[in-house]
Amino acid sequence: MGLRRLLALSAVAAAYGVAALTAAGAVKAQTSILNVSYDVSRELYKDVNAAFVPHWKSTSGETIVINQSHGGSSRQALSVIGGLEADVVTMNQSPDVDILVERGGLVAKDWRSHFPHGATPYSTFSVFLVRKANPKQIKNWNDLTRSGLQVIVPNPKTSGNGRYTYLAAWGYALKTQGSEAKAREFVTSLFANVPVLDGGGRGASTTFTQRDVGDVLVTFENEAVALQKEFGSDKFEIVYPSISIDASAPLAVVDKVVDKRGTRKQATAYLEFLFSPTGQEIIARHHFRPRDPAVLARYAERFPKVETFTVEAFLGGWPKVQKEHFADGAIYDQIAVKR
């Protein structure tokens, strides 16, 4: 290739790049809000947005565009701290909203009281997905510690899903065996059975379903149902443990951003819509457990009753859990290094 042609080509490429970058910036002119959310809520919010846009048009007469951004929950929070202009955040664990209060005061301190149910429109919890006919007879958390079994869990250090699994196992042991020392032994032998630690929930699903690794996948109920639907119930079965951890999905309006962009009204209405019967219906359709009792009753056969405990009530709250279990050098690190 001649030098001249090369130069011309790179000039075209550069011009194209600049055009693409500025075009991305220009979209903002319309009334739009950005929902920054976690990894596996993509499908849910696609449906929610499709329902909210006509709803908002009929109530306010305004045409609105909802943009979505998805990724690992904590990484998304980091982006918002770093300047991603999210009007609302919809995460899968409350530390990822609390951090927005701590760093830069992006969200009001009392965000939990701004919406019903502690600002969590739905919850889910950790369940087991096993291979067809449950060949290893996995029924409850204590089965996961049997030697020779392979348990697939996403990395608790990088994934909210993995963190909930760890805490569910910890809580189960605490409830059934009574002491923290026993609980520690329990999670140690459980995590000694983990052959792969994927970065996030979807990665773990792929490892279990496509790579054929492991006897059981521990993941959120909605993810387990989605996997079973995709691959067929003749391949995988869902097992509900006797007890699990309540994983309520928190959301908040990002005050600093909506005040700057003048979108508080729209952002608040968008989040309130999730608590409305229509929103709750969409949530239930995606196999997240809705808060509205009427909707829950309608989908009762989808949601077997399972006893759950919360991080706040049973484990002393997220800051404590974070410090004692997941901080560098804390219990999770200690048991992980010992394997």
Partner 1 sequence: MRATSARRVLPGFGLSLGFTLAYLSLVVLIPLAAVFLKSATLSLSAFWDIVSSPRVVATYRLSFGASLLAAAINVVFGLLLAWALVRYSFPFKRLIDALVDLPFALPTAVAGISLTAIYAKNGLLGQFLEPLGIKIAFTPRGILIALIFIGLPFIVRTVQPVIEDLETEFEEAAACLGATRWQTIVRVVLPALLPALLTGFALAFARAVGEYGSVIFIAGNLPMISEITPLIIITKLEQYDYAGATAVASVMLIVSFLLLLLINALQAWTRRSARKG
Sign of CA dihedral 211, 215, 131, 161: negative
The conformation of residue 306, written as its DSSP 8-state character, comes to -
Q: If binding is defined by CB under 8 A, does position 83 make contact with partner 1?
A: no
Distance CA 86, CA 108 (A): 14
Q: Which residues, at least 6 apart from 105, have a Cβ–Cβ distance to it below 8 Å? A: 256
Q: Looking at this protein, which amino acid is placed at residue 318?
A: W
Binder among 86, 99, 127, 216 for partner 1 (CB under 8 A)? 99
With CB under 8 A as the contact rule, which of the stretches 127-135, 209-217, 239-247, 305-313 interacts with partner 1? 209-217
Q: If binding is defined by CB under 8 A, does position 210 make contact with partner 1?
A: yes
Mark residues 102-141: x for contact with partner 1 by CB under 8 A, - for none.
-x--------------------------------------
Closest alpha carbon to 168 in 306, 333, 339, 319: 306
Binder among 196, 239, 243, 269 for partner 1 (CB under 8 A)? 196
Q: If binding is defined by CB under 8 A, does position 203 make contact with partner 1?
A: yes
With CB under 8 A as the contact rule, which of the stretches 10-18, 234-242, 295-303, 322-330 interacts with partner 1? 322-330
Q: Which residues, at least 6 apart from 319, have a Cβ–Cβ distance to it below 8 Å? A: 95, 98
Q: Which of 229/339 has CB closer to partner 1? A: 339
Q: If binding is defined by CB under 8 A, does position 297 make contact with partner 1?
A: no
Q: Looking at this protein, which amino acid is placed at residue 104?
A: G
Q: If binding is defined by CB under 8 A, does position 329 make contact with partner 1?
A: yes
Q: Which of 110/328 has CB closer to partner 1? A: 328
Q: If binding is defined by CB under 8 A, does position 213 make contact with partner 1?
A: yes
The tokens of 71 are what?
A: 């990724």
Residues at the contact surface with partner 1, assessed by CB under 8 A: 72, 74-75, 78, 99, 103, 155, 157-158, 194-199, 203, 206-207, 210-213, 326-329, 333, 336-337, 339
